[in-house]
């Protein structure tokens, strides 16, 4: 892809904790990491364990120049960074964007996970040129190549950003780790209005959320169901709804069933799986 495309690739699609094993191999067990290429720019949305795989895929392509946006700093969104090979290359340039969470800057939070005794490599051993950018809600980032990013707060313990990435009249929305409520639904519909691709938290089934699976209700845990995502997709008039942040209790069959139920409500629904690439410019042509 040259400078004239807009694509998204999924490197980690699981929520909360990695889920290795044969039962989850189809959709993949790595946690949140999504790569967006637009107008010649590379954006990496969250640095869960999928980031390690992205790093390996990028190794042959030479120095990395990328924007990494952290929705928030729960483990499943940052744990891949210490294993991201391009971060240890002096020729790499990374701009790290994120908000202040619980009084800590993004830099402090990322340094924290590599402090003794949690990890043997210190954050200062990261050799890439790093620039931190403290992101505020509704701030508009204008990147090279005419790529524009703006974010809103979702509904999640400790806070979370959801982003809309626009390029040449097309848009991708990434909204993970957010619970559907009437107030946040209105915000999400505003953010997702007319987007070609809408990636939304679909962690639970309605039965899991209600606790009828015997594991207790998950209201207030900061996640939505695939039916919430399908409903918001209809309301916002998006092209394709991507179910994201699959629950660790869901094996491949459960994710497939979740996808089918979402499709019955919003036809162009697809469950995110590791290695999947979507052409955002064709997001309205079906999944
Ligand atoms: Zn998460
Ligand atoms: Zn979270």
- Tell me the ligand closest to 101's alpha carbon: 2
- Cα 72 to ligand 2 centre (Å): 7
Question: According to the model, what pLDDT value does residue 1 have?
Answer: 63
- Cα 245 to ligand 1 centre (Å): 7
- Cα 19 to ligand 1 centre (Å): 13
- Cα 12 to ligand 1 centre (Å): 11
Q: Which segments of the chain have a pLDDT < 50?
A: 287
Would you say 45 and 81 are in contact if contact means Cβ atoms under 8 Å apart? no
- Cα 149 to ligand 2 centre (Å): 21
- Cα 62 to ligand 1 centre (Å): 30
Query: Each residue of 122-179: pLDDT tens digit?
Result: 999 999 999 999 998 889 999 999 999 999 999 999 999 999 999 999 999 999 999 9
- Write down all domains in the chain, each with its CATH number in brackets: 6-278 (3.60.15.10)
- Tell me the ligand closest to 222's alpha carbon: 2
- Cα 74 to ligand 2 centre (Å): 5
- Cα 48 to ligand 1 centre (Å): 9
- Cα 209 to ligand 1 centre (Å): 16
| pTM score above 0.85 | yes
What tokens appear for 119 in the block? 């990890």
């Amino acid at each position: 892809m040259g400078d004239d495309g807009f694509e998204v690739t999924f490197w980690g699609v699981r929520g909360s904790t990695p889920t290795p094993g044969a039962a989850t191999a189809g959709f993949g067990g790595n946690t949140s990491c999504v790569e967006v290429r637009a107008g010649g720019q590379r954006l990496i949305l969250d640095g869960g364990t999928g980031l390690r795989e992205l790093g390996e895929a990028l190794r042959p392509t030479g120095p990395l120049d990328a924007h990494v946006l952290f929705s928030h700093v729960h483990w499943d969104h940052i744990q891949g960074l210490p294993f991201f090979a391009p971060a240890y290359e002096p020729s790499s340039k990374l701009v790290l964007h994120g908000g202040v969470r619980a009084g800590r800057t993004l830099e402090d939070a990322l340094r924290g996970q590599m402090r003794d005794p949690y990890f043997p490599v210190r954050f200062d051993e990261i050799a890439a040129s790093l620039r931190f950018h403290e992101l505020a809600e509704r701030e508009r980032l204008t990147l090279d190549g005419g790529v524009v990013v703006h974010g809103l707060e979702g509904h999640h313990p400790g806070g979370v950003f959801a982003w809309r990435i626009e390029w040449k009249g097309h848009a991708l929305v990434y909204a993970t780790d957010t619970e559907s409520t009437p107030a946040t639904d209105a915000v999400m519909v505003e953010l997702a209005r007319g987007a070609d691709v809408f990636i939304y938290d679909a962690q639970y089934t309605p039965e899991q959320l209600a606790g009828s699976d015997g594991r207790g209700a998950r209201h207030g845990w900061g996640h939505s169901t695939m039916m919430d995502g399908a409903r918001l997709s209809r309301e916002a008039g998006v092209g394709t709804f991507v179910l994201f942040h699959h629950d660790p209790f869901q094996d491949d069959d459960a994710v497939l069933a979740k996808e089918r139920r979402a499709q019955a409500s919003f036809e162009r629904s697809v469950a995110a799986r590791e290695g999947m690439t979507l052409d955002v410019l064709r997001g309205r042509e079906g999944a």
